[in-house]
Homo-oligomer: A and B are copies of this chain.
């Protein structure tokens, strides 16, 4: 039996284990598989257009009547006028030349932050759960979503963020330790000074808020879920463990890198998107580590690196590809999502018995 049922009641789920939203890797099939196995599936929607969001939400609703969490980015829109693209372009020029791609491109806006157009779509979809990365959505969005019964989750990487999210109406808070793969959801304080690990962060946040806390970062099996609950979390969110599943849309080169990588092989980098995110170290990260500070503001750096990543991927190389992974991503299994989910819950329940 689980030591608490706060998340089970809040989200109407059987097990307090959440498959993390991973834009670019999570899919409706993955979220449906986990939801139907009794957990909470999630779908990273940050890169979707309004139309794609509508289609994805329909697919999810058709596949499961249970809780699925739709995730969005609520970052502050970048101000490219204040960014000098010169140093990064100079640093990248030899790599673009090597790949036969001409001059490096300028940063371009890319996918917008969660806005009223997406809110409209979301209100029409009426998901059971929505979650937000990089801060709080606008007050009117929170109010409108709450009015239709959607439960809201925020992401905190320190205590100040957790308090802000609770005050802003979030129904639950992910305490995201620095072990986590992909983007740090930090929004208060300098993002690159933000490195609280899960073991320290979870109990500090649990003590600071009264809404249920979901532990994330470095959790890959039932031991981590049980540990999270001992720390006072009401449940756990797990991402990388699902990256190699058949339901994952992560590129084959990304899946291969996870399978072949030892521990201690990841690093936080701003080179892929402009914000600190944890990736398996590759050639780009190693050779351009001195240029981290020159990355264009999130998410405009994506456009600066994407052609290089694409060109090398076409040659079978992940040297310039974002290889998001938590610190235990090496333990991701090539097995169906539902099977991984059930194994993790079973291990945790046995330890907690």
What residues make up the interface of A, taking CB atoms closer than 8 Å to B?
A: 157-160, 177-179, 189, 193-201, 203-204, 217-221, 223-224, 226-228, 230-232, 262-264, 267-268, 281, 326-328, 331, 351-352
Pick the most buried of A177, A198, A227, A228: most chain B CB atoms within 10 A of its CB: A227
User: Is the Cβ of B177 less than 8 Å from the Cβ of A263?
Assistant: no
Q: Of B195, B199, B221, B331, which is within 8 A of A219 by CB?
A: B199
* Residues of B contacting A193 in the complex (Cβ-Cβ under 8 angstroms): 264, 267, 281
* Residues of B contacting A228 in the complex (Cβ-Cβ under 8 angstroms): 199, 227
Who on chain B is nearest to A327 by CB?
B200
User: Is the Cβ of A197 less than 8 Å from the Cβ of B198?
Assistant: yes
User: Is the Cβ of B159 less than 8 Å from the Cβ of A262?
Assistant: yes
Kindly report how many copies of this chain are found in the complex they form together.
2
* Residues of B contacting A327 in the complex (Cβ-Cβ under 8 angstroms): 195-197, 200-201
A325 to chain B, nearest CB (A): 11
User: Is the Cβ of B218 less than 8 Å from the Cβ of A200?
Assistant: yes
User: Is the Cβ of B231 less than 8 Å from the Cβ of A264?
Assistant: no
* Residues of B contacting A352 in the complex (Cβ-Cβ under 8 angstroms): 230
User: Is the Cβ of A199 less than 8 Å from the Cβ of B226?
Assistant: no
* Residues of B contacting A199 in the complex (Cβ-Cβ under 8 angstroms): 177, 179, 197-199, 217-219, 224, 227-228
A209 to chain B, nearest CB (A): 13
User: Is the Cβ of B227 less than 8 Å from the Cβ of A158?
Assistant: no
